[in-house]
Chain A
């Protein structure tokens, strides 16, 4: 197949959206982290636990709603652990994040082994996935119809960027979160409880990271495999720090990283070694980091 035909096709657009969805969710989580000035790198583990809990939960409840809720709950619990250690036990946030990521990668494997007897996937369970949208009459539109037949969560992810923008910039809690992040002393002086506000911010982050994780095991793939997040949490962290915590800009960067991942997949079909294809999104992230910070520094 011709390279350019592949890139400029409806399928490619669809795969960009699919690759970007988890990154968008977690970028939103990381945006809150940036705005509240909480250095959290534990999104990877939140996503992993959400993905596992989602796959297990949906197999147990036989419904995607139940699975999704259980997955999100798992992620919020992880966020709570992170918040407790960082805010109340005065632990270095960086080390806590790294440790939680190790915990996420090993803990999910242990839990999966305990509950299903397998150490690599939950493919044997009959998990339920999130449904795709039914395009209805819109399916007849030529190229753009692909925009109307995506997964439910893909739309939710784009909606969540808008919702987060409104939340951060138009609500009282959003204002408090931003003030705590920007100038905690000033926030204290007007009677804001800094720790509690940061706790709320981290828990909301957990919610978004959970949605990203649930997407991985209940839509991107129909089951959980070990270490299936493979750096998406970190990519989101990069996207959020490039956007300086602004949800809409973060959305754009997540789409760029999603496009890079999809582009990597295309390269793979063109007989480029698989490993180089997998490198593309990480390389784009590093290049992005270099390129953007230089501009904002001045």
Chain B
């Protein structure tokens, strides 16, 4: 008998394949959802759908928009991957990203600091602020037993209000036409810069961060500790891992990443910080990390998928009347579909049973 390359060799492999299949099905359903939502709203369905599918790659300029949208998602999804790997439902990434951006723009608007030094200070401020924010919920949990989910969600509201206060209060430039901070003095260099199409090098930093954390998660003791704690805290405790310390350290590290994301976004894309609502990257991060199964490497693909949808929806919103919210709707559908272990469960179980039976009968023949 010829060995079949597609034949599964273990139950684990079957499970893995079905997870991948579910992810693809979910992504497909998300696209179909977008199509339906566009079709309901559209006067010229064919044209709008074509725009939606091809817009980000139709011109170089739009492709650059796609890359710019991709950059913050890399940071936030990487941060969430780490947090969720440690099994801690700490959703304060949104707040950490916002506060990171605010802290780094507070440094960035100061005049008279040499550019190199200001860069370091900006990034330092963003990173520290982000880490401080994300460490609060697990700390409160460890110290007082406060529920991480609720406290982190509450923390997001506190962070965004603090952010608005800083933007409209101490950091506000009164000469600006709208509510925004003073101009950021130091900017990240562009890595694509021809005519009107510019992409800041935050994307490269983001890719580097994701790759580093992929390595950390897979190849280092710290990464192994995080995954052990996430999968089975009791086992981790019995094997001598300090669970609380690991969770707080993970929050610290992912706070660094989220804060860095905020700092990069401020020094790369914006001339002034002017967010009037929380940017939502933290929530996007949760969605991407779910798609990616908390694997930072797959998070690149997930971020690209979401950034592509976002760019399409933005362009569509300018060209016709379709609201950008369709992406968020599709996004929530994707999260639920991927997380729904029950979908295709029957087929998966049948495959596992078939596999186990054939394995047992083969063993019988050998004996």
Contact = CB atoms under 8 A, between A and B. Distances in A.
Interface in A90-137: 90-92, 94-96, 98-103, 105-107, 109-110, 113-114, 119
Interface string B149-183: 11101110110011011001100000000000000
A102 B290 CA distance: 14
Interface string A235-249: 101100100000000
Interface residues of A, number: 46
Given A95-B339, A114-B41, A291 B144 contact: yes
A62 interface: no
Interface stretch (A10-18, A168-176, A186-194, A279-287): A279-287
A91 B340 contact: yes
Interface in B340-366: 340-343, 345
A286 B335 CA distance: 28
B150 A92 contact: no
Contacts of A100: 332, 336
Interface stretch (A52-60, A150-158, A177-185, A270-278): A270-278
Contacts of A241: 147, 150
A25 interface: no
A110 B37 contact: yes
Contacts of B214: none
B335 A98 contact: yes
Contacts of B24: none
Range of interface residues on chain B?
35 or more
Contacts of A94: 89, 149
A112 to B, nearest CB: 9
Nearest to B41: A114
B43 interface: no
Contacts of B145: 290, 293-294, 297
Contacts of A105: 328
Interface in A251-298: 273, 275-276, 278-279, 282-283, 285-286, 289-291, 293-294, 297
B331 interface: yes
A109 B325 CA distance: 7
Given A110-B325, A234-B154, A289-B140, 9 more contacts: A91-B342, A92-B339, A95-B339, A98-B286, A102-B331, A230-B157, A275-B169, A278-B157, A286-B155
16 contacts: A88-B342, A91-B340, A99-B332, A102-B287, A103-B329, A106-B329, A113-B323, A114-B40, A238-B147, A273-B169, A275-B161, A283-B154, A286-B151, A289-B147, A290-B146, A294-B145
